[in-house]
Structure 1
């Protein structure tokens, strides 16, 4: 790219403003759909259009941010193994697949936090009070069971440092389904199979995006 057409700070700022506007329009479309439950088809089409606009604006901003400042955004919407979406245009059910990886960087902090939870409410984590407190303070599997049983995954993610954890890669997949699953149907193997052609959208977070091969992450 020649100096004459090299993007600069103004272009990055303009792309950021365009992304903000696209986010506002996407949210407005969702709010309008919620207020007009009798006109679902038209409202869904408006939300879908706003979603695509927001995705395009985000990609443009990400590219300019990298070109000008050698920085990236903390999110990606990569291709799903090259598979095109072939699911229902108006899904009646959705499955949300989430994976978050953590490294245990401070085992003593994790054990101490689990023991504190067990001391505050031993009945909530099950078992005899003394046994639960002792196990939570000495056994890593028991401590993890106490913490992840007491706190929601999103709270663990937002407070991971308090628990002696360090975030790794994370991914969230939205998969369309024809109808809701029967109670207990998939609990034995919740992630056994995901049809790539039914993935509506996917969001990945990874330090790999900071490297030269970020664009190749599937």
Structure 2
């Protein structure tokens, strides 16, 4: 079977794009600033798309396949409305974790309690942080959402992904901040969105 020169050029071009995407992804990973580093997310998306294109073209031209699989994502990992100019915006953040090690999580929660109340004896931290929910409460109280995310893996939490929405707020939406904080979510009002979906071996089958 002879492959036409035009198809060989298309395959080589797709391969070059894939190797460039691999290099860019590696550099982004080496310079990452956290679990949801936008540069890593962008490089991951570009690498996935380049690998998908190469895989499809290879099959179309040669009837051969690569060993890669591409599980479908629920949505585009990134969206930006270039022409948006809202007067008021809300930043909606969701981060998902799997509790991998309950003992580590309890220990991290007790450490957070001790930082908040340094004069209390160790027994007080143990008594207060007696279950994972309380551990998360004290960690969020001590470190905030970003601090919890930075400490997640060392605290028995396995990151499973997250999403950040920046969207325009309608008049009166600010009044829902404490009563229905996520009821304002509206895709039609999105200014910017970035998702990170972390697949495990179980997800990939």
TM-score by length of 1: 0.57
* Alpha-carbon displacement from aligned partner over 1:120-140 (angstroms, at most 9, x marks no partner): 43179xxx7677413344233
Alpha-carbon RMSD:
4.3
* Alpha-carbon displacement from aligned partner over 1:74-114 (angstroms, at most 9, x marks no partner): x997189xxxx7xx831122111111111111111111122
- After the TM superposition, which residues 173-192 of structure 1 pair with which residues of structure 2 at under 5 Å, given as runs? 173-178=165-170, 182=174, 185-192=176-183
Aligned to 1:107: 102
Of stretches 8-17 and 199-208 in structure 1, the one that deviates more from structure 2 is 8-17
CA drift of 1:197 comes to 0.7
Could you say if the C-alpha distance between residues 16 and 99 of structure 1 is closer, same or farther in structure 2, counting changes exceeding 3 Å? same
Structure 1 unaligned residues grouped into runs of 5+:
20-54, 213-218
Aligned residues: 165
- After the TM superposition, which residues 116-131 of structure 1 pair with which residues of structure 2 at under 5 Å, given as runs? 116-122=111-117
Aligned to 1:206: 197
Could you say if the C-alpha distance between residues 110 and 58 of structure 1 is closer, same or farther in structure 2, counting changes exceeding 3 Å? closer
The answer as to whether partners of 1:92 and 1:178 remain within 8 angstroms in 2 is: no
Secondary structure, in 3 states, of the residue corresponding to 2:184? coil
The answer on 1:142 being equivalent to 2:134 is yes
Aligned to 1:11: 17
Pick aligned residue for 2:148 from 151, 156, 165: 156
Aligned to 2:50: 64
Secondary structure, in 3 states, of the residue corresponding to 1:193? coil
* Alpha-carbon displacement from aligned partner over 1:31-59 (angstroms, at most 9, x marks no partner): xxxxxxxxxxxxxxxxxxxxxxxx8x996
TM-score by length of 2: 0.60
The answer as to whether partners of 1:12 and 1:61 remain within 8 angstroms in 2 is: yes
CA drift of 1:12 comes to 3.0
CA drift of 1:192 comes to 1.7
Aligned to 1:172: 164
* Alpha-carbon displacement from aligned partner over 1:138-179 (angstroms, at most 9, x marks no partner): 233222211111112122222211111111131111111256
Structure 2 unaligned residues grouped into runs of 5+:
26-41, 56-65
The answer as to whether partners of 2:77 and 2:195 remain within 8 angstroms in 1 is: no
